[in-house]
Copies of this chain bind each other. A is one copy, B any other.
Amino acid sequence: MTKPLILVSNDDGITSRGIRVLVNVMKKLGEVVVVAPDSPQSGMGHAITIGNTLRLDEEEIFEDVEAYKSSGTPADCVKLAKHYVFNDRKPDLIVSGINHGSNTSISVLYSGTMSAAIEGAIEGYPSIGFSLCDYSAKADFSHVEEYVYKIAKQVLEHGMPKGVALNVNFPPKRNEPLKGIKLCRQARAKWQEEFDERFDPNGRKYFWMAGNFVNFDKGEDNDEWAIANNYASVVPCQFDMTAYHAITQMNEEWDLDVE
């Protein structure tokens, strides 16, 4: 029996600790190939590189693993893997992460980690983005390894519902062990930005974006609740963004006749 072919990518860059943990877990499940950004790409959303050139260079960085670093975004990495690195081979699984920081709730839209997974889903491959809700570069990943293994193994066994990628988030390491895995919906929350206004040495104004995460969601079936209550959250995400319920409402109420 051939081992499953697993593509690993991320958005923190190929030298981050999170991708190293992910590579080590995936090696227990199959043959691993890494294509990841050569530098951090956090907050890149589903950006792709058009109008600019891309670099892709093989790199010996993980033991016994074929690995490439690219100048591109996470979505670029998946495209490069599919159309260039793999050539005629097809991955059985695409995993992205483990991100240093939360991608719960609305952060899925800003997340480079999830854009790699969603790009995988668009191509029709079972795909998962993993994130640890701890922004520290020295974050402890020891409590999530068996969860990453379990979820990836379930995906390899069951496949993925069509048009769906998984957004998996883990609580930071606390004093008690994780309580388990919860299938969740995306919480209704947002970032409340503040702009820190400063002046450069030439007296010209510039800004730093800062802000706080605000959770409006009172439910107990969403990813924010799961993380707060020490569960791993799994949200199935779809790339069809159509608000079907709105079509009916607008067809009834709106006047869209142009004379």
Which A residues are within 8 Å of any B CB, using their own CB?
40, 42-51, 53-57, 75-76, 79-80, 82-84, 106, 108-110, 115, 118, 122-123, 146-147, 150-151, 154, 158, 161, 163-164, 178, 180-181, 183-186, 188, 190, 193-195, 197-198, 204-209, 234-247, 249-251, 253-258
Contacts and interface: CB of A to CB of B under 8 A. Distances in A.
A182 to B, nearest CB: 8
B185 A154 contact: no
Contacts of A188: 163, 240
Most chain B Cβ neighbours within 10 Å, of A163, A240, A255: A240
A207 B256 contact: no
A195 B79 CA distance: 9
A106 B243 contact: no
Tell me if A's interface is mostly helix, strand, loop or mixed. Answer: mixed
18 contacts: A40-B51, A43-B50, A46-B46, A84-B197, A150-B256, A150-B258, A154-B256, A158-B250, A163-B188, A163-B243, A164-B246, A181-B257, A185-B242, A185-B247, A186-B241, A236-B243, A239-B241, A241-B241
Contacts of A244: 185
Given A50-B209, A51-B42, A180-B256, A241 B238 contact: yes
A258 B186 contact: no
Given A42-B51, A236-B246, A236-B250, 12 more contacts: A43-B51, A48-B209, A49-B209, A53-B208, A54-B207, A154-B255, A161-B250, A183-B250, A185-B247, A235-B242, A236-B243, A237-B242
B183 A251 contact: yes
Nearest to A210: B50
A258 B147 contact: yes
Contacts of A57: 205
Contacts of A195: 54, 79-80, 83-84
Contacts of A79: 193, 195, 209
Contact of A76 (B47, B115, B186, B209): B209
Contacts of A109: 46, 115, 118, 122, 239, 241
A39 B89 CA distance: 39
B83 A194 contact: yes
B247 A181 contact: no
Given A79-B209, A238-B243, A45 B42 contact: no
